[in-house]
Every structure is written in structure tokens, then in C-alpha cells.
Amino acid sequence: MAVELDVFVGNTTIMDEEVYQLWLDGYTVNDAVKVRMEGGVMDECEASADVLLSDTMDQYRTFQMCERLLHSPAKLANQLLFQIPPHRQTVLIERYYAFDDAFVREVLGKKLSKGTKKDLDDISAKTSVTLKSCRRQFDNFKRVFKVVEELKGPLVENIRQHFLLSDKLARDYAAIVFFANNRFETGKRKLQYLTFQDFAFCAGQLINNWTVGAVDNMVEDMDVDLDKEFLQELKELKILITDKDLLDQHKSLVCTALRGKTKAFNEMEANFKNLSRGLVNIAAKLTNTKDVRDFFIDLVEKFIEPCRSDRWTAADMKLYLTHYTNSAHILDTFKHQVVWDRYMGVIKSCIFKMYHD
């Protein structure tokens, strides 16, 4: 004695957003029913557990049937199988491509390969995101990566058009793709305090200023690969630390400007040479892929950590970096103003973002 078959099909596809979220989160039907019962949905319509189970099963089936379409969201709009109102389509897509910050933090910068996929159960255990949900998110990253890999034009725009995502989500995906492509190291213990949003912001900065696309917007991979020429030119900045006069001159200019404006002045003055060396060395090494990967760890080790141990406030940091950047323009023997600006612009905003607890 059992219900052998139970289906409900509406001309307009009925989708409950709450159930959709549970499905996305990888709950089994039974778990989802439990969650819904606890949520009090039963009181709404004098429903019983059976009704809830039947509804949940139906919805899960609908989502499974829709999933294939969600893999190429453009199809969702002109498929004929499900009649879904446009605003609901947008919600479906947006939610399907949404991800958990905890999860993305784990795979950010990792190669989106089968190897990483095998480790998903560890990540699942660590982040307490269900394995099913991890897989979906990982597959989404990989799918987006694969599609935009072969496309010309701006990365964010490509993602937005191909996957019909909101601007915000498209930017996040651009960051994920950018990180995965350049394999930035984000997993080290020292970087643990940084959130995905910190990295996404930095990625945006790098994409907008350091990639090929920042100069030429019709090249393949333009927003994914860093501008090689620019990286070469960065070597020239070394003069700021190798030329003793220049270094001193730079220091005195910065110190003059800072004097009396901050409590941390003494520490700034004392550490100037160290910090400057740190930043310029990062710039000079970026031609090596290995050093590119360590970009963020270097920033933290060479700059953020020393400052933090000297208890600089965020305002101090801002003040210091502003004057540090600007003072270089006054150095008459320093000829690489354009490169310097392009470099320091990004560094400055990245450090501002990353300088927190």
C-alpha cells in the first residue's frame, strides 16, 4: 500500500524558492522535508507531512529536469519544455550560480581539475557544505572557466552574457576564473584571514589594470592573463631600491609629508626602507609565474604583517601609501612614472582591502 506515482505539472512551472535553496544546498528529499517542517510551512495550509513530502519530491524532480538547462542559461530563455516567467528564470539562474564563500575560499586559485574535484569531500567536511552542493559549485566554476576561456572581449561582460548573471555575480566569477587561471596561492595560513570578497576585489583591480585587456580589448584571454610587457617593465622599478640616493630621497620626501600627521610616524620612518624594498621586490619578481602565484602571500609577508606589528591603523596605511606613491613622482631621476602608477594603483587598493583583521 503505497503511492507508486505522484506528479504535479503546472502549465507555468511552479517553483518554491525555499525548496530550490534546499535542493541547491544538497539536502536529500527527507532532510528537506524535515527542514521545511521545522520552518513551519505546514501551518500555512493545514498541510500534512505526506503533502510536504509529495510537494518536495515534485519540486526536486522539476529542478533536476531544469538542471540541464541551467548549465547553459541562455537555453532556459528559449526552451519550450518549461514555461517559466522571465523574472523567475533570472532567480533560478542567479541562485544556481550562487556559491558559498566558505567553499569558494577553499578552491580559489586551485586548478579546476579532476584532482581538485576528488578533494571535494575533504572540503565538504571542512566547510560543512554538502558534497552535492560542493560539486555543483565546483562544476559551475569549471563550466564558466571553460566557456570564457575561448572567448574574446571583456571577461565580466562575457560571463554576464553567457550565463545571464547579475553584474555582481559575474564579477565574482571573473575573479574565480582569474584566480584559477593564474593559480594564485590563497590557501596558506597567513592568508586565511582574507575573505573571498577581499580576493575578488583584488582580482578586479588586477583584471582592470594589469592584464592585456587593460590596454587592448580584443585579444583572446585578454582579461585572464597578466600583461607580459608590463611585468617586464616592472623590473625597471628596482632602481628605487638599488639606487641608494633615490631610496634616501624617496624616504625623506615621504617622511616630510607624513611628519606630524600620524602617531605611527616613527615606525614608518624606521621601516621605510624595508617596506619599500618589499614592494619593489614583489614588482620585480612578477615575471616568474611562481612569484605571481605568491603575489598575495608576498604582500602579506612583506608589507601587511610588518605594518600590523607596528599597529598602523587603516588610515595610517592609506596615508603612507598615498605619499609613498606620490613622492616617487617628484624624484627627478626616476623615469618610470607610468609603470609605477599602474603598479602602485593596484597595490594600493589591494593593500587597503587586505589590511584588516
Partner 1 sequence: MPGKLKAKIVAGRHLPVMDRASDLTDAFVEVKFGNTTFKTDVCPKSLNPQWNSEWFKFEVDDEDLQDEPLQITVLDHDTYSANDAIGKVYIDIDPLLCTEAASVISGWFPIYDTIHGIRGEINVLVKVELFNDLNRFRQSSCGVKFFCTTSIPRCYRAAMVHGFVEELVVNEDPEYQWIDRIRTPRASNEARQRLISLMSGELQRKIGLKVLEMGGNAVVGYLQCFDLEGESGLVVRAIGTACTLDKLSSGSAPNTNTHVHPNTAPASNACNSPSKDGKEPVFGEDLPSSSGPPTPFRALPTSSSSPPPFSPSKPCSRQSSSSDTDLSLTPKTGMGSGGSAGKEAGPLKTLLRQQTQTALEQREFPFFTLTSFPPGFLVHVGGVVSARSVKLLDRIHNPDEPETRDAWWEEIRQEIKSHAKALGCHAVIGYSESTSICEEVCILSASGTAAILNPRYMREGCLDIGSTDHRFEEPSPPSCGFCHIPYDELNMPFPAQLTYCYHCRRQKVPDVLFTTIDLPPEAAVTGKGCLIQARLCRLKKKAQGEVNATAISNLLPFMEYELHTQLMNKLKLRNMNALFGLHIQISVGENMLLGLASATGVYLTALPAPGGIQIAGKTPGDLSNEHHILTIQKRINDAIAKNKELYQINPPKLFALDPEVFCGINMELTEEGVGSPIPEPRQRSRLFRSHSESSDELSELDLSHGKKDAFVLEIDDTDAVEDIHSLLTDAHPPTGFYSCNTEIMPGIYNWTSGIQMFTSVRVFRLSNANLTNQGLNKIFTDLCENLLKSFYFKLRSMIPCCLCHLNFTVAVPEEELIQVTVTAVAMTFDKDQTQEKPADKPITKGSSETEEQLQFPLELCADTSSANTQPSSKISGVPESTNVSSRAASVDYGSFADRCSTWLELLRLKAHTIRRGSVKTISSLERCSPLPEGRSRSLRSSRSFGGSSVTVVKMTPLSFLPGIRIIKYLGIINMFFIRETTSLREEGGVSGFLHSFIAEVFAMVRAHVAALGGNAVVSYSMKECVLMENPNKNQAQCLINVSGDAVICVRETDQETTASMTNIGQTCSSGTDGAT
Residues contributing to the site for partner 1 (CB under 8 A): 1-14, 44-48, 50-52, 54-55, 57-58, 61-62, 64-65, 74-83, 85-87, 89-90, 164
State which amino acid sits at residue 163: F
Q: What is the smallest separation between the CB atom of 59 and partner 1, expressed in angstroms?
A: 9
Give the integer Cα–Cα distance in Å for 63 and 285.
49
Helices (H), 165-264: 167-182, 196-210, 228-234, 239-242, 244-258
Q: Are 197 and 350 in contact (CB under 8 A)?
A: no
CB of 32 to partner 1, least distance (A): 15
Q: How far is the CB of 211 from partner 1 (least distance, A)?
A: 28
For partner 1, the closer of residues 65 and 338 by Cβ is 65
- Beta-bridged to residue 211, according to DSSP, are 226
Q: Which is nearer to partner 1, 76 or 129 (CB)?
A: 76
In angstroms, rounded to a whole number, what is the distance separating the alpha carbons of residues 218 and 206?
A: 18
Q: Torsions phi, psi of 332, nearest 5?
A: -75, -25
Residue whose CB is less far from partner 1, 59 or 276: 59
Closest contact distance (angstroms) between CB of 174 and partner 1 is 20
Crossing angle of helices 17-24/86-97, nearest 10°? 30
Q: With respect to partner 1, which residue has the nearer C-beta, 64 or 256?
A: 64
To the nearest whole angstrom, how small is the minimum distance from the Cβ of residue 144 to partner 1? 17
Q: Which of 101, 100, 83 is nearest to 92 (CA)?
A: 83
Amino acid at 162: H
CB of 119 to partner 1, least distance (A): 29
Residue in the block written with cell 516567467: 85
β-pair partners for 152: 220
Compute the least distance from the CB of residue 190 to partner 1, in Å.
Answer: 43
Min separation Cβ 67 and partner 1, Å? 12
Residue 47 or 98 having the CB closest to partner 1: 47
Burial (CB < 10 A; 0-12, 13-18, 19+), residue 123, is buried
In the bound state with partner 1, the residue whose beta carbon lies nearer, of 9 and 215, is 9
Please state, in angstroms and rounded to a whole number, the distance separating the CA atoms of residues 100 and 103.
5
Cβ distance to partner 1 smaller for residue 43 or 245: 43
Q: Give residues with Cβ within 8 angstroms of 210, minimum separation 6.
A: 226, 227, 230, 342, 346
> What Å distances lie between residue 127 and 37, 142, 309, CA to CA?
25, 20, 30
CB contact at 8 A, 6 and 50: no
Which CB, 4 or 245, lies closer to partner 1?
4
Rounded-to-integer distance, Cα 324 and Cα 254, Å: 6
Q: At its nearest, how many Å lie between partner 1 and the CB of residue 234?
A: 42
The H-assigned helical ranges of 239-288 are 239-242, 244-258, 265-285
Q: How far apart are CA 153 and CA 158, in angstroms?
A: 7
